[in-house]
Amino acid sequence: MTPFEPAFVLPPAFDYAGVAVFALTGSLAAARDKHDIITFWFFAVVTGVGGGTLRDLLIGAPVFWIGDATYLALGLAAALIVWFLAPHLERAKALIWIDAVGLAVYAVIGAGKAISLGVDPYVSIAMGVLTACFGGVIRDVLAGQPSALLKREITISAALLSASGFVVLSAVGIEALWAGVVGALAGFGLRAGAIHYCWALPAFGEKRGQGKA
């Protein structure tokens, strides 16, 4: 795999979109427990920036949201949207689908951020998976819910597909934006299939034919 130049970056709008989507899932988790609007905002922000914060700390980068209040505003916007529309979103089972979008997009964002700082491509893929998954872990802990990562669902694998697809396509010369779009769509497609068809990887000790898919 060819090395990347440190200047290799994704458009900022990609980062805002990923945070906004995860912020919505945080607010929806708060809505399920009937919290107040400030707690909605707290859940939104912590869920939205949690994965990226850990990524930046691990790779020694300035924490991305500290110098940009836009991320706090995105959390507030997500909180207000859910505050007024939560019943409709719950009926549409929006949390699981919004989470799937956030997982795919944020995996690409995490990998792209790591690559832009000269991190090894393989480690960058790992950073993409961590970025995509850790915010959801924080959300589930705050909400007192079992983490989706501990369920028999394809979640980490979808984030891995998004991040690795982005890195591989970028390595062969595809423009960052299009590599990100294709990677995110691939990861979302896998996660969507897992949601709709109950796909799951074989579990340890499981006999053939006993799994979900």
Q: What is the pLDDT of residues 158-205, one digit of tens each?
A: 999 999 999 999 999 999 889 999 999 999 999 999 998 988 888 777
How many whole angstroms separate alpha carbon 136 and alpha carbon 79?
Answer: 16
Q: What is residue 67's predicted lDDT score, i.e. its pLDDT?
A: 92
Residue 11: which pLDDT band, with cuts at 50, 70 and 90? Answer: confident
- Could you tell me if 170 and 8 are in contact, meaning their C-beta atoms sit under 8 angstroms apart? yes
The predicted model gives 152-159 an average pLDDT of 88
Model pLDDT for residues 66-124, shown as the tens digit of each residue = 999 999 999 999 999 999 998 887 766 777 888 899 899 999 999 999 999 999 999 99
Q: What is residue 7's predicted lDDT score, i.e. its pLDDT?
A: 41
Identify which has the larger pLDDT, 32 or 39.
39
Residue 6: which pLDDT band, with cuts at 50, 70 and 90? Answer: very low
Q: What is residue 202's predicted lDDT score, i.e. its pLDDT?
A: 84
- Could you tell me if 145 and 68 are in contact, meaning their C-beta atoms sit under 8 angstroms apart? no
pTM: predicted TM-score of the whole model, two decimal places: 0.86
The predicted model gives 22-33 an average pLDDT of 92
CA dihedral sign of residues 75, 76, 78, 79: positive
Model pLDDT for residues 33-67, shown as the tens digit of each residue = 899 999 999 999 999 999 999 999 999 999 999 99
How many whole angstroms separate alpha carbon 27 and alpha carbon 45?
Answer: 9
Q: What is residue 210's predicted lDDT score, i.e. its pLDDT?
A: 57
Give the residue from 16, 14, 21, 30 showing the smallest Cα distance to 180: 14
Identify which has the larger pLDDT, 159 or 206.
159
Whose structure tokens read 């939104």?
44
Identify which has the larger pLDDT, 86 or 209.
86
Give the residue from 84, 64, 67, 85 showing the smallest Cα distance to 18: 64
